[in-house]
Structure 1
Amino acid sequence: MKPSLSWDEQVSLLVGRGLDIDDERKCAEFLSVHNYYRFSGYMRYFQIAPHHGDDNFVPGTTLSQVRALYDADQVLRSAPTEQLTTAELLLRTHTAHVIANDHGPCGHYLQAEFYSDASSSEPTVESCLRDIERSRERHILRYAVPGDRMPDFGELPVWSAVEAWSFGTLSKCIERGAQGSLADAVATSLGVAKAGFAYRVRALVYMRNRCAHHSRIWNHSIIDAGPTPNNVRVKAKRIAGQFEPRSALDVIASLDDIVDRGKAGLHMLPKLVEAHKQHADFWKGLSHPQNPQDHRL
């Protein structure tokens, strides 16, 4: 068991490992706000071989050097918020529109046979109903029968229901709805490529959750990366240069495409290039994420 350390003891630990700290008092104040464990995710890239138990810093590493990357990542996490919100609203709107027009506004979308669920995952209907039942919005509560312990919301129109679903539940509905055909229909409604669309939506949910929970984006390989269309990648690489398929930049290129096709906003990628590309170490961690390197000779 690792002992719990005070802020000052955490600073002493870093100094003992060879980190150059100009102002130890300010460093302790920083750690009291930002959490040593969170900050350690950035420090590992400057340590000799943390995956082999050597947590000493590469000689010459300064706190300011690590802080610059941490601060840039903090700014980056707030950048996609508006675009992700716009994309989420577009997806709610077009999903409800497609379901209502193609399958009827009520009932059918809350039936198990509407979805192609896997036995290893929670049934999509349960996710949909749980989110609806949690809602305290008047437009939802008016459809709950008073005194009914298990309301089925059979008369709740889908355009009302989608407003209660989490982004994750919405993503499941798009991926599995209408026995797998809903994703194609929503993509067509938005005017984007059908191939891999459901997985692109899943990647947006993953990115939104990381940003919302202040998780590291720099040097992070996106687990639920969607298959961004080749024409979208080619266009994005003209602006940003080369980037990996599982990089944050790939998801942002996909996000720009979805929002742009919805005629709902401006591209985000050019703004990131302008703000961050001159910071070579930070940009490399966005475009070509990798694990900490072994700095042992």
Structure 2
Amino acid sequence: MAYDKPWKSYEDQLDQLMQRGMIVTNRPKALHYLERIGYYRLSGYWFPFRKRSEICCPLTAMNGKKFKRGTTDRIALDEFKAGASFQNAVELYVFDKKLRLLVMDALERIEIGLRVDISHSLGKKDPFAYLKPELLFEDFTTKLNEKNGLSKHHQWLTKQAALISRSKEEFITHNKIKYGFPLPIWVVCEIWDFGTLSTIFSGMTEADQDEIAYKYGLNNGRTLASWLRSLNYLRNVCAHHSRLWNRNIIDQPKPPKAGEVSWIDPFLDNFSHSQARPFLLLCIAKHLLTIINPSSTWGQRLKALLLEFPDLQHLGLNLAGMGAVAEWQEWSW
């Protein structure tokens, strides 16, 4: 399909929004936000403000969304719901920005804590255990990708080699000069990113995974592995400054068993919905962070921020859109 949307000035962009029913009470300020944040980025925040069609069965793709034959949906229209304002979108954008920054604070500490857990566990077996297939999960080292013919282990080692090559850290240079390659795991783990960390955890033996999982109140290391993959997805969303608050989570976490962690039960009645929304990942981050740093006030800061969610009831929006369960405010944060 040929792209036929014309370039528009900031003035024209704002006029178009007003023509579609958006309330603008301060035109100069709204223009400033369009110039500094951009129409396209802000559009992700006013998208939920748009009216929806009646239930229909689309025959072709609409608004970039494809439909399977026979499925029904409500289509987002260009016009806005009554009462939708430009300021509402800005307030939602600011809330989302604060949420991303708070999440990154938790993920940094989780990443560092898990680096220690993994390097300590594998290093006990061998300083270079990450190189030795016999010390890792068999499928991780032997099962080949049909597209490139490489195992996950080979792909992981390639990524780690690139991190080593790019690193400017003095401790990496020191170890390369004094001892050469390979680098022991307790050294090289310090340059892992969250994706590298979560992948090598998924490649550990089940017994080694379980040993670390027990530390976090879980009976199954594969559950923790899925949590780390999901948190890596969350980290990438935040690092790229993408919309978070009501995001559809692609890499979804597995549920622990009922009662395994005290806060999971309210999610289990509708877990498929909870898996697809960020609130569950926020709770997972809080769970891990409480064990890594029991004196952390991160949970309290998260609760305080969630209570600042903009008043958008007139548009039918609230924290349920991010997967918050009933009575979450009463939890011990």
Q: Which moved more, 1:47-56 or 1:128-137?
A: 47-56
Asked whether the 8 Å contact 1:210–1:216 carries over to 2, the reply is yes
Shift of 1:98: 0.4
Match of 1:292 in 2: none
Change (3 A) 1:232 1:255: farther
Match of 2:320 in 1: 284
Match of 2:330 in 1: none
- Secondary structure, aligned partner of 1:256: helix
Shift of 1:173: 0.6
Change (3 A) 1:16 1:275: same
- Secondary structure, aligned partner of 1:160: helix
2:212 to 186, 201, 206: 186
Shift of 1:236: 6.1
Structure 2 matches for 1:66-215, cutoff 5 A?
Answer: 66-101=89-124, 103-105=125-127, 107-111=128-132, 114=136, 116-117=140-141, 118-120=143-145, 123-144=155-176, 153-154=181-182, 156-178=183-205, 181-189=207-215, 192-195=218-221, 196-215=223-242
Aligned pair 1:261/2:288, yes or no? no
Change (3 A) 1:197 1:222: same
CA distance in 2, matches of 1:128, 1:75: 31
CA distance in 2, matches of 1:87, 1:223: 21
Bigger relative contact order, structure 1 or 2, given CA contacts below 8 A and separation 6+? 1
Show CA shifts across 1:254-295 (max 9, x none).
112112222454364444333324746341222269xxxxxx
Q: Give the root-mean-square deviation of aligned CA atoms.
A: 3.1
Change (3 A) 1:166 1:278: closer
CA distance in 2, matches of 1:268, 1:193: 25
Change (3 A) 1:41 1:256: same
Asked whether the 8 Å contact 2:218–2:261 carries over to 1, the reply is no
Show CA shifts across 1:185-228 (max 9, x none).
33245554434111111111111221122111121122222224
> One-letter code of the match for 2:144?
S
Match of 2:263 in 1: 235
> One-letter code of the match for 1:119?
L
Change (3 A) 1:133 1:20: same
Shift of 1:177: 2.9
**Unpaired segments ≥5 residues, structure 1:** 290-297
**Unpaired segments ≥5 residues, structure 2:** 53-61, 64-74, 146-151, 326-333
CA distance in 2, matches of 1:282, 1:126: 44
Shift of 1:11: 1.0
Asked whether the 8 Å contact 2:279–2:324 carries over to 1, the reply is no
Asked whether the 8 Å contact 2:233–2:251 carries over to 1, the reply is yes
> One-letter code of the match for 2:165?
E
Match of 2:277 in 1: 247
Q: Which moved more, 1:248-257 or 1:107-116?
A: 107-116
> One-letter code of the match for 2:87?
S
Q: Which moved more, 1:54-63 or 1:31-40?
A: 54-63
> One-letter code of the match for 1:283?
L
CA distance in 2, matches of 1:287, 1:157: 42
Change (3 A) 1:21 1:182: same
CA distance in 1, matches of 2:181, 2:318: 49
CA distance in 2, matches of 1:224, 1:127: 20
- Secondary structure, aligned partner of 1:48: strand
Match of 2:55 in 1: none
Change (3 A) 1:231 1:34: farther
Show CA shifts across 1:77-100 (max 9, x none).
112222211111100111110011
Aligned-pair identity in percent equals 26
Asked whether the 8 Å contact 1:112–1:124 carries over to 2, the reply is no
> One-letter code of the match for 2:163?
D
Change (3 A) 1:222 1:213: same
Asked whether the 8 Å contact 1:218–1:282 carries over to 2, the reply is no
Change (3 A) 1:53 1:236: closer
Match of 1:59 in 2: 82
Q: Which moved more, 1:263-272 or 1:71-80?
A: 263-272
CA distance in 2, matches of 1:232, 1:42: 36
